[in-house]
Structure 1
Amino acid sequence: MSALAAQSVRELATAVRDGTHSSLALVETALERIEATAELNAFITVLEDTARERARTADRAAARGENLGPLHGVPVAIKDLRSRKAGVRNTMGLAPLADNVAEVDSIAVERLEAAGAVIIGTTNTPALGHTIKTENRIAGATPTPFDHDRSAGGSSGGSAAALATGAVQLATGSDIGGSLRVPAACCNVIGLKPTFGLVPERVADDGFSTHSPFFVGGPMARTAEDTAVFLDVLAGQDRRDPFSVPRPESDYVQATDRATDELAVAYSPNLDLQPVAPAVRATVSAAVDDLAAAGATVDTVDVSLPPYEDLSMAYVEQVGVFFSAFAQQIAERYDIDFETADVEETVRSTIALGTETDATAERLQNVPRTAAYDGIEAILTDYDVLVTPTLTVPPYSKHLANGYPTAIDGQSVMGVPTDAMLTWVFNLTGHPAASVPAGLTDDGLPVGLQIVGNRFAEKDILSTAAALERARPWTDRYPAAK
């Protein structure tokens, strides 16, 4: 990782403004890293020419003494799903949309460019973001930089891999069950799923689609401070999103300086819900011990949730309906027949989940969903945050065809995505949650620690992430380009 890539976003933006570095130099460094790590398939589209021109504009503004914003001249990657940039390919990971070009900017891209960022490219995602492995027929599979046979996670796997290689400091992601947090865990970076409504989203035809279960966009970065800077740019109401809310009066960056001994942390090794692999459990436990040794108040707690079978069925039915409706809108907008189109079989099977669920059954799943919300609220009444493992297993095979683990800690499981992660619960309840690096297994594989906060209390999550980063630094624990 280059010296430039190791600097914080605030340091880089300041250096561009005062002329210490040029934005063009940052862009060239990013492009070199993207080329050096091309085997990871982290990017679908790289914007060499437009990024260079945008960087020159940022440098000319700096020479005139103008401040373009907190991301002045800093390269940023955007996930090739809902983070659209006008005039740039927007494939959504679908082979039939390999040549589709976005007509308008998404809200996130508007805010990034208003803050002075340089969009360097779009990152890989599974088709329509349908699962927690990043593989598609346009770019192929994206592995974690730590093991090229194992997945970078999904569906924001391209963004996570790009961060882990040092190609960019910031990348957008989105999350309906773990798509920000799972890749963060697989790639040793941070992915923050904000409270529903804090970061506005808008689907062109269906502004009400994101609520069941809660779908959100959010920031990904390597450090707590960079994540805070990014959230500051993305958060806040937009009238195009009927669910968006004014941002709280929170200084997210200042929250990263909060003293560790002010934090009250509840710890659950598995949410009392499902098995966790010993290597994951041991790594997260060691991270929690380090957090306590640094001064945080840490208590192991019992979590009252519905049984796994009931709660996972609630998630699967509701997310299945969400995905089926989304796929139908895409089919109608772009004239795609998913029965015959060149798409992965896992896409068709995910669409089928929703078509087999009637409306009444889907709504009745709000009963276990409410019980889960009440169980998490009961914990967070007395603590700033609840921490758990992010994944129940280390990073798994990168290929969709290889499926997911069928046994965890000696227990048989169904081999479905919900078995492999503890993230989806919080898309049902709406609590903000982040995955941050917990450490590496004895085999050198990254493990994520999930931090869950009270609604609209992202500052507590960022405070805890920063405290763990101080106690257990990870920013020098990335593999060199191969």
Structure 2
Amino acid sequence: MTLTQRSAKSLLADLSNGSLSAVELMQATLARIDAVNGKVNAIVGLRDPDALLAEAREKDRRPSRGPLHGLPIAVKDLVNVAGILSTHGSPIFADAVPEKDDLIAERMRAAGAILIGKTNTPEFGLGSHTFNPVHGATRNPYDTSRSCGGSSGGAAVSLAAGMTALADGSDMMGSLRNPAAWNNVYGFRPSWGRVPSEPVGDTFLHQLSTLGPMGRSPEDVAILLDVVAGPDPRQPHGLAADPVAPLAHLDPKGLRIGWLGDWDGAFPMEDGILDLSADALSVMETLGCIVEPVAAPFSADAMWQSWIDLRSWQVSAGLAAHLAEGAKLKESAIWETERGLALTAMDVHRASIVRSEWFKAAAALFETYDALILPSAQVWPFDGDIPYPTSIAGHSMDTYHRWMQVVVPISLIGLPALAAPAGFGPQGLPMGVQIFGPRGSDARLLALGAAYHAATDWPQHLPPL
């Protein structure tokens, strides 16, 4: 195993005890980026190598000052990072170099990470396909003709291709989970409020999107989660929680796992996805879990209407000013913004009533089940030259994001979810499952994921770069 393929946990341990220098790791990181990034375009805005090596030498001269001391990390390009080109994938910000870190970057920097550049994202993070007019498309390392998903696509690819050991992401509509599945890594959507957003604009109303960690194992994910989590006194909904790393041992024997499948046919799936998900369920059974099929517990149509109203409302709040200024936005951004602007206050209220009813129904399910499982995506990684799938298994998609509906039950009510690799389909493409539980069950889900990872270790099936 090469240095850049090792776990973040082992790299950080060696950085801490002095058996590995930050300079050595930075040299290996830059060499790996030079070797493979041209094929996948995952890391953008890379800082000057000499400046990065100088920062690494400074880390080696100082005692460790945090849990990420000396570790290179590229930050998702929806996050502003001081001194690094931060475009949000939009021509509006094509030349933007912030003077100040956003909160999540500030926390990683304070923990000792070396912020080396950015990971690519769709324009404003819209759509689970990472391409934009500033940096172009990011390609799937398992088949560079295919999409890597998104919006944390660059982050997932940087992990899969061994360019970074940890990555931050964000997730409104599967942006941590879909790319994790398509790149054979782990993505964790924490309980809403555990990781605070940037304290800008409204901090009370919108509860759909969250920041979160990605890695090649649940143990690594837990390390980054502890760094970025914790209340921000400027925001009202912060969720205080005990640290999760190192993960406590969990014996899965006897845990009850509910399998939701395709939600009684409401979520069309491409051939092979449910079969591969069943393989992951079999692993759970070998660990001693009791896996049971669960009938659809709530109306998928009602959830979808609630979701698209609340999502358009939130997106329009962020992009309406750009639309009013006549900025050139991609078609999906215009559609979301105009749709959100047309909603009434009572439309939003009705959508939140449905969200509340689903939360109660889910709470009742968790009285029986320790965790629930869904596939992470409804389609295999698709042709990287199309913007999004327009049909699944003969079912036409009526919006640019309907093909991602399988992530909505989790996103709508802010539940924690671990996207875990499930293996590979007949074409050699990765897929995964979402393991989710009630709010606040983050540590337990990651511990269950660690037991699953020990039995599978899918991320060691490396891409053919």
Q: What is the TM-score normalised by the length of structure 2?
A: 0.94
Q: Distance in 1 between matches of 2:22 and 2:215?
A: 19
Q: 1:241, CA displacement in angstroms?
A: 2.3
Residues 1:253 and 1:72: Cα distance change in structure 2 (over 3 Å): same
Aligned to 1:261: 253
Structure 1 contact 384–460 (Cα < 8 Å) conserved: no
Q: Does 1:312 align with 2:308?
A: no
Q: Which of 426, 443, 447 is 2:431 aligned to?
A: 447
Q: Distance in 2 between matches of 1:413 and 1:286?
A: 28
Q: Does 1:92 align with 2:76?
A: no
Structure 2 contact 303–408 (Cα < 8 Å) conserved: no
Residues 1:127 and 1:402: Cα distance change in structure 2 (over 3 Å): closer
Residues 1:3 and 1:103: Cα distance change in structure 2 (over 3 Å): same
Q: Distance in 1 between matches of 2:146 and 2:405?
A: 16
Aligned to 1:17: 16
Letter in 1 for 2:76: K
Q: 1:446, CA displacement in angstroms?
A: 0.6
Q: Does 1:108 align with 2:104?
A: yes
Q: Distance in 1 between matches of 2:378 and 2:309?
A: 22
Q: Distance in 1 between matches of 2:35 and 2:411?
A: 36
Give aligned pairs, total.
462
Q: Which runs of 5+ in 1 are unaligned?
A: none
Q: 1:380, CA displacement in angstroms?
A: 1.4
- Secondary structure at the counterpart of residue 302 of structure 2: helix
- Secondary structure at the counterpart of residue 260 of structure 1: coil
- Secondary structure at the counterpart of residue 278 of structure 1: coil
Q: Percent identity of the aligned residues?
A: 32
Q: Does 1:370 align with 2:371?
A: no
Q: Which of 130, 136, 140 is 1:140 aligned to?
A: 136
Q: 1:368, CA displacement in angstroms?
A: 2.2
Structure 1 contact 137–343 (Cα < 8 Å) conserved: no
Q: Distance in 2 between matches of 1:6 and 1:43?
A: 16
Q: Which of 147, 150, 153 is 1:151 aligned to?
A: 147
Q: Which of 215, 230, 239 is 1:245 aligned to?
A: 239
Aligned to 2:446: 462
Letter in 2 for 1:238: D
- Secondary structure at the counterpart of residue 424 of structure 1: helix
Q: Distance in 2 between matches of 1:251 and 1:87?
A: 31
Q: Does 1:270 align with 2:274?
A: no
- Secondary structure at the counterpart of residue 20 of structure 1: coil
Structure 1 contact 426–433 (Cα < 8 Å) conserved: yes
Letter in 1 for 2:85: R
Q: Distance in 2 between matches of 1:152 and 1:442?
A: 18
Q: Distance in 2 between matches of 1:359 and 1:43?
A: 40
Summarize deviations over 1:163-190 as a string: whole Å, max 9, x none. 1101001111111111111111111111
Letter in 1 for 2:295: D
Summarize deviations over 1:295-332 as a string: whole Å, max 9, x none. 222222223111x3332121111101110110135x3x
Aligned to 1:218: 212
Q: Distance in 2 between matches of 1:367 and 1:282?
A: 35
Structure 2 contact 173–404 (Cα < 8 Å) conserved: no
Q: Distance in 2 between matches of 1:468 and 1:338?
A: 50
Residues 1:431 and 1:350: Cα distance change in structure 2 (over 3 Å): same
Summarize deviations over 1:214-258 as a string: whole Å, max 9, x none. 2110001111110011111111111122221222x3534223x32
Residues 1:343 and 1:32: Cα distance change in structure 2 (over 3 Å): farther
Aligned to 1:33: 32
Q: Distance in 1 between matches of 2:444 and 2:325?
A: 43
Q: What is the TM-score normalised by the length of structure 1?
A: 0.91
- Secondary structure at the counterpart of residue 247 of structure 2: helix
Aligned to 2:61: 60
Q: 1:376, CA displacement in angstroms?
A: 1.9
Q: Which of 454, 457, 461 is 1:473 aligned to?
A: 457
Aligned to 2:74: 77
Letter in 1 for 2:384: K
Aligned to 1:200: 196
Letter in 2 for 1:102: P
- Secondary structure at the counterpart of residue 419 of structure 1: helix
Q: Does 1:394 align with 2:387?
A: no
Structure 1 contact 396–405 (Cα < 8 Å) conserved: no
Residues 1:393 and 1:304: Cα distance change in structure 2 (over 3 Å): same
Q: 1:397, CA displacement in angstroms?
A: 2.6
